[in-house]
Amino acid sequence: MSIVMDFLQNYVLVCALSSWAVAQVWKFILNYIIDRKVNFERLSGAGGMPSAHSATVTALTIACARFCGTGSTEFAIAVVVAAVVIYDAMGVRHEAGEHAKIINQMLKKSSEEDDDSDDPEIKELKEMLGHTPLEVVGGVLLGILVPLVIPMR
């Protein structure tokens, strides 16, 4: 039971995971407002507003700064990890999602032209992988806010 209590009392971890959870719930709510339908995949899926990846690593970084200090090794590691994750979310994964959209369009067009296109091996690629700059900014702002709201013990 002490492992669970240690986990729940770890300020840095609680901030990071809380920020991820809040971002995912916001994605779910915003998706419902925009599409007017419930999509439970938004509670755990990648992509969308706000970026849960950016929110999580930003909250981790801010919590480390508050708890360990900006001169600590933990803070330095968090900054580097945050930079890599945010760059990946906005750059590489966003581009992969754009590529998936084009490939899906090509597959759809090809299947419309081919009558024998019911191949179960071919499935649509996931398009919502990365984030736009605005989605990343939303995640970063959320990641700053959450550790400032959660009290340190």
pTM of the model: 0.76
- Joined together, the tokens standing for residue 13 give 């971890």
- Count of C-beta atoms within a 10 Å radius of residue 33: 8
- pLDDT digits 0-9 by tens, 38-94: 887 777 777 788 999 999 999 999 999 999 999 999 999 999 999 999 988 877 666
Q: Which residues of 82-104 are buried (b: 16+ CB within 10 A; e: fewer)?
A: beebbeebbeebbeebeebeeee
Q: State both tokens at 58.
A: 């930003």
Q: How far does Cα 130 stand from its chain's mean position?
A: 8
Q: How confident is the model at residue 132 (pLDDT cuts 50, 70, 90)?
A: confident
Average pLDDT over every residue of 113-135: 66
**Each residue's pLDDT tens digit, 83-99:** 999 988 877 666 776 77
- Per the listing, tokens 């933990």 go with 74
Average pLDDT, the chain: 85
Q: What is the mean pLDDT of residues 104-113?
A: 72
